């Protein structure tokens, strides 16, 4: 059984774009003072919250999960280009125990309990994450500028030295040697000039990577694209129903075992985290979309590669709130307000799916029911999104423009 570092939450939310009080963003720029270093250490402390669902911290999939009951109504229209019909229906939402009951996997499920019944209406969903080519089309058509491309202001960060107010993004920067896993600054950096066009910084490029998922997008950036495309971001419940592909209570999008017939099923981290990604699954770092087998609904990359934004605010106790109400939650849209006890002043949305950095050594949130979270103004080079829609008429009209 692998022991896990208690700072595992940094894997999905390494640091936000900035906290005006703590200058978290500027710590990553290397402009350290004693005060700011201490403040960063406090604000980015490990998650130690006791989730109200902790009494359900171990779940028996056979007892806790009931069968998925998909709607039988056909799609209202042919699927728009690049999308598939998700029938919706009733299902058990939440995380199953990891197959080997390892400590990393078990801790990944703490805010994904108790398992509860949910109903969602049918909808269309993008087959893949939004790609660089698709996002470039949006930017060309609208002139949109992402948050990472905008220079932070004194109004956002009062008291910050002007030289520290630089546009950029959070980037996975693996060390060249083994490091302790209790300090995520060892492998996360704030990089000046990192944005969707230059995901790892000014010397990087998306040239030749048109079919890779777009990254370095904050929540508002994903929303802006979705509106332009006459789509929206999925709710957390819609995302999980779609990811399960009709299966019930399985730990992975594809079923019970992490590998099927000896084959890797998602782009995750192999080797020694964080310094040596062996690329055993065929990729070191991010991969093009659609390189692994789709799930039962024809969706690609619903585990691994890049995290995906959902429209729900994040609260670790939200599932407990739904379970307390009882019955079947119909088309839940998340809590009315966000709250992360580890960073109570930050507004966070739910991330789903895990990324190319997920590993059983540190963060195994490639498991289908598990949840991530992220501050809404922060993008990283392992976070993207995909869209959904209930309005096939508008989508068809746009596709014929």
Task: Report the pLDDT value the prediction gives residue 103, as an integer from 0 to 100.
Answer: 73
**DSSP letters spanning 282-312:** S-SS---TT-S---TTS---SSSSSEEEEEE
Predicted local distance difference test score (pLDDT) of residue 63: 41
Residue 378 lies inside a defined structural domain of this protein: yes
Task: Give the chain's domain count.
Answer: 1
43 pLDDT above the threshold of 60: no
Better-predicted residue by pLDDT, 385 or 161: 385
> Of 271 and 362, which is predicted with more confidence?
271
Helix (H) or strand (E) holding 373: strand 372-375
Q: Which residue intervals of 252-390 are DSSP H helices?
A: 318-325
What is the predicted pLDDT for the residue at 231?
98
Higher pLDDT, 128 or 46: 128
pLDDT at position 395 is 64
CA distance 28 to 18: 10
Does residue 291 have a pLDDT over 80? yes
Helix ranges, 174-328 (H): 219-228, 236-244, 318-325
Asked if pLDDT for residue 153 goes beyond 60, the answer is yes
Q: How many CA atoms lie within 13 A of 239 on its CB side?
A: 32
pLDDT at 310: 98
Please compute the mean of the pLDDT values over residues 254-269 and round it to a whole number: 95
Domain span at residue 336 reads: 8-399
Tell me if 182 is assigned to some domain: yes
- Both tokens assigned to 257: 């075992």
In the predicted model, what is the mean pLDDT of the chain?
84
Strands 116-120, 89-93: parallel, antiparallel or unpaired by DSSP? antiparallel
Please report whether residue 2 resides in a domain: no
Chain position carrying tokens 């402009």: 31
Whether 73 has a pLDDT exceeding 60, the answer reads yes
* Predicted local distance difference test score (pLDDT) of residue 266: 98
Does the CA dihedral 166-172-177-180 come out positive or negative?
positive
Residues in Cβ contact with 43 at an 8 Å cutoff, skipping those fewer than 6 apart: 19, 21, 22, 24, 343
Give the C-alpha separation, 71 to 90, whole Å. 8
Instruction: Give domain status of residue 21, yes or no.
Output: yes
pLDDT at 72 over 70: yes
Q: What confidence score (pLDDT) does residue 393 get?
A: 61
Does 47 score more than 60 pLDDT? no
Q: Please check whether residue 125 lies inside any domain of the structure.
A: yes
Q: What is the CATH number of the domain that holds 91?
A: 3.90.1580.10
Most confident segment among 47-56, 98-107, 368-377? 368-377
3-state secondary structure of 158: coil
Q: With cut-offs at 50, 70 and 90, classify the pLDDT of residue 363.
A: confident
| Residue 3 forms part of a structural domain | no
Band (pLDDT 50/70/90 cuts) for residue 330 is: very high
174-178, 348-352, 378-382: least confident range: 174-178
Q: What's the alpha-carbon Rg for the chain, to the nearest Å?
A: 20
Of 93-102, 118-127, 310-319, 391-400, the least confident:
391-400
Residue 7: the pLDDT is 42
| 11 pLDDT more than 70 | no
Cα distance between residue 199 and residue 373, in whole Å = 20
Distance CA 197, CA 194 (A): 8
């Amino acid at each position: 059984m692998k022991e896990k570092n208690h700072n595992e939450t940094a894997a999905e939310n390494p640091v936000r774009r900035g906290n005006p009080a703590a200058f978290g963003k500027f710590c990553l720029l290397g402009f350290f003072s004693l005060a700011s270093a201490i403040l960063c250490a406090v604000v980015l402390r490990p998650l130690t919250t006791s989730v109200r669902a902790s009494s359900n911290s171990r779940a028996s999939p056979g007892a806790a999960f009931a069968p998925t009951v998909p709607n039988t109504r056909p799609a209202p229209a042919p699927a728009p280009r690049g999308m598939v019909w998700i029938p919706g229906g009733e299902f058990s939402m939440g995380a199953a125990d990891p197959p080997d009951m390892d400590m990393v996997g078990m801790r990944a499920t703490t805010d994904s309990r108790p398992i509860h019944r949910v109903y969602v209406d049918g909808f269309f969903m993008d087959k893949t994450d939004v790609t660089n080519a698709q996002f470039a089309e949006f930017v060309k058509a609208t002139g949109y500028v992402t948050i990472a491309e905008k220079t932070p202001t004194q109004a956002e960060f009062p008291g910050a030295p002007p030289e520290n107010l630089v546009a950029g993004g959070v980037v996975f920067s693996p060390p060249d040697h083994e490091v302790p896993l209790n300090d995520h600054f060892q492998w996360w950096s704030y990089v000046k000039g990192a944005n969707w066009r230059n995901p790892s910084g000014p010397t990087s490029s998306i040239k030749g990577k048109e079919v890779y998922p777009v990254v370095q997008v904050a929540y508002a950036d994903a929303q802006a694209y979705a509106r332009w495309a006459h789509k929206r971001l999925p709710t957390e419940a819609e995302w999980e129903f779609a990811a399960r592909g009709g299966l019930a209570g399985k730990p992975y999008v594809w079923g019970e075992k992490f590998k099927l017939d000896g084959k890797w099923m998602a782009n995750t981290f192999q080797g020694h985290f964080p310094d040596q990604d062996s690329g055993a699954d065929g990729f070191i770092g991010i991969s093009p979309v659609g390189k692994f087998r789709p799930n039962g609904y024809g969706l690609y990359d619903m585990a691994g590669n890049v995290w995906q934004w959902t429209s729900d605010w994040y609260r670790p106790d939200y599932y407990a709130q739904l379970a307390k109400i009882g019955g079947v939650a119909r088309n839940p849209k998340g809590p009315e307000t966000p709250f992360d006890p580890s960073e109570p002043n930050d507004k966070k949305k739910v991330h789903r799916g895990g990324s190319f950095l997920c590993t059983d050594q540190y963060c195994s949130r490639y498991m289908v029911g598990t949840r991530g979270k992220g501050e809404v103004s922060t993008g990283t080079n392992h976070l993207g999104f995909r869209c959904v829609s209930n309005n096939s008429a508008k989508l068809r009209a746009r596709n014929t423009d």
